[in-house]
Amino acid sequence: MAPFMDPPPLTSVDTALTAHTTATPALVAPEPEHCPGPESNLAGKDDACAGCPNQAICASAPKGPDPDIPIITQRLAGIKHKILVLSGKGGVGKSTFSTLLAHAFASNSANTVGIMDTDICGPSIPKMMGVEAETIHVTSTGWEPVWVSDNLGVMSVQFMLPNRDDAVIWRGAKKNGLIKRFLMDVEWGSMDYLVVDTPPGTSDEHLSVNSYLKESGVDGAVLVTTPQEVALLDVRKEIDFCKKAGIRILGLVENMSGFVCPKCTHTSEIFRATTGGGRRLAQDMKIPFLGAVPLDSRIGMACDFGESFFDNFPDSPTCKALKEVVKNVGKEMGVKEEDVLGEDMFPHVKTLTASSVSSAKEESPVATPLAQARKVLGNDTLEAQRAVIEVRNDAVKYVDTATTYANYSKDQAVEALTENERLKMKVAKLEREGILEQREFMHTT
């Protein structure tokens, strides 16, 4: 049988885009190869349906609009601005940018901000926010998002995994179901901004988020890219998807554009832009260019620790570039400039809440581990990277190590990390036994 690849007719794209807006019948078998979708108008009548065990179900199912969409619209009614963060390519910094955007909005204490992580297979947002070990609190009115601070809440599949490293091996339909629940069951309440982080590609998650949010309205999508053509190739496809789906594009951000060597401060192109980079693409596609953000190795570090990059390294050139990008995003959305960012974006010392279990808990505010390291070893950030940080606690001594060991020999580094892992396990055991409260270590795990 000679295979053939017929061009996907335009109708099939439209069907895919509107599929989630109609009610889904309950199927008894997996969908066949060229299934038009159980929710589409051709369900049960298409050529591909012949022989499928679900044919009768699909043909007789009511074809009205999905009754859950009005519920979703109602849930999200209190949210003033919704932003999607998209990129066709993986690894360009979508999650990083989402967290930075959320932190930036949340720096203005009058704003309430939420992040929804729709990346089911690789949920990174909880780790970047430092709340990886939390679980979802279920109330009678719905699921409560995990609050990182007073005005910043997170929802992600990571909180639902029994084990942190469990793989989520789900097909598209099941992922759509979970995203629907995030929108339907989570009590977002009244918020100023909801940032939706998406996985790479143009697939089920994007289609479902788009369809469910169509009625309640999305302010627009921010596209993230890196300068090289391999990334731009995929971002072009994402722009095409946005145009087909009717999503307004707020603009394009070029991440990792330029690297400043910490030793000689020479700027080099780590990912060369051979075809003009993001700027040229934005020009060609006639979308706003929101800014270029240089690569700073400390962003990666801040994300690994779950700290806010803005708070810890405010004098970095990356920070300034990011503030410009956030201001431009606000401008595109039509928000007044003074309402977007907080008045001072400078580090404030985070206070860990006193633990009732550990009686000898210090009352004075404890600075974050990174800030402590800098204080101890001076402001030389390269030295801070090489620091070993100690967070004392009467119950257990927890040694957290910075992730680069330029001064250590390989054996010493491996030894230090092994010791770190051993102590982490000890801490986890004490947490499980209730001796240590989990919240204490929110900023250190």
Partner 1 sequence: MRQIQTTLNTITPQSTRSPSYSHNFCGGLPVTRQNRLQPPRLLLTCAMSLDNVGSIILVLSGKGGVGKSSITTQLALSLSLRGHSVGVLDVDLTGPSIPRFFGIENAKVRQAPGGWVPVPVHEAHALQHSATDSADGTSKDHHHMGALHCMSLGFLLGNRGDAVVWRGPKKTAMVRQFLSDVHWGQLDYLLIDTPPGTSDEHISLVETLLKNARPGQVAGAVVVTTPQAISISDVKKELNFCKKTGVEVLGVVENMAGFVCPNCAECTNVFSKGGGEIMARDFGVPFLGSLPIDPMFVSLIEEGKRPVYPKGTTVAGNPVEATSNGTPAQHREVQNGSLADKYTSCSLYPIFDGIVTELVAKISKT
- Pair 196, 208: CB distance under 8 Å: no
Q: Which residue of 110, 266, 360, 411 would you call a contact of partner 1, by CB under 8 A? A: 266
Q: SS3 of 430, please? A: helix
| DSSP bridge partners of 139 | 142
- The interface region with partner 1, picked from 71-79, 148-156, 185-193, 292-300 by CB under 8 A, is 292-300
Task: Say whether residue 425 binds partner 1 (CB under 8 A).
Answer: no
Q: How far is the CB of 78 from partner 1 (least distance, A)?
A: 31
427 burial type by CB count under 10 A (0-12 exposed, 13-18 middle, 19+ buried) = buried
Task: Say whether residue 300 binds partner 1 (CB under 8 A).
Answer: yes
Task: Say whether residue 31 binds partner 1 (CB under 8 A).
Answer: yes
319 appears as a binding residue in the annotation: no
- Pair 363, 354: CB distance under 8 Å: yes
Nearest to 37 by CA among 429, 363, 46: 46
Task: Say whether residue 421 binds partner 1 (CB under 8 A).
Answer: yes
- Helix axes 94-106 and 317-333, enclosed angle (nearest 10): 80
Q: How far is the CB of 239 from partner 1 (least distance, A)?
A: 8
91 appears as a binding residue in the annotation: yes
Q: What Cα–Cα distance (Å) separates residue 207 from each residue in 123, 218, 398?
A: 18, 14, 44
Q: SS3 of 89, please? A: coil
- Pair 33, 13: CB distance under 8 Å: no
Q: Which of residues 141-170 bind partner 1 (CB under 8 A)?
A: 164-170
Distance CA 419, CA 405 (A): 14
Q: Which of residues 192-221 bind partner 1 (CB under 8 A)?
A: 199-204, 207
Q: How many residues bind partner 1 (CB under 8 A)?
A: 87
Q: Which residue of 30, 67, 177, 378 would you call a contact of partner 1, by CB under 8 A? A: 30
Task: Say whether residue 287 binds partner 1 (CB under 8 A).
Answer: no
Of 266 and 392, nearer to partner 1 (C-beta) is 266
Q: Which of residues 39-98 bind partner 1 (CB under 8 A)?
A: 88-92, 95
Q: Which of residues 325-384 bind partner 1 (CB under 8 A)?
A: none
Q: How far is the CB of 10 from partner 1 (least distance, A)?
A: 11
Task: Say whether residue 276 binds partner 1 (CB under 8 A).
Answer: no
Nearest to 192 by CA among 130, 126, 109, 249: 109
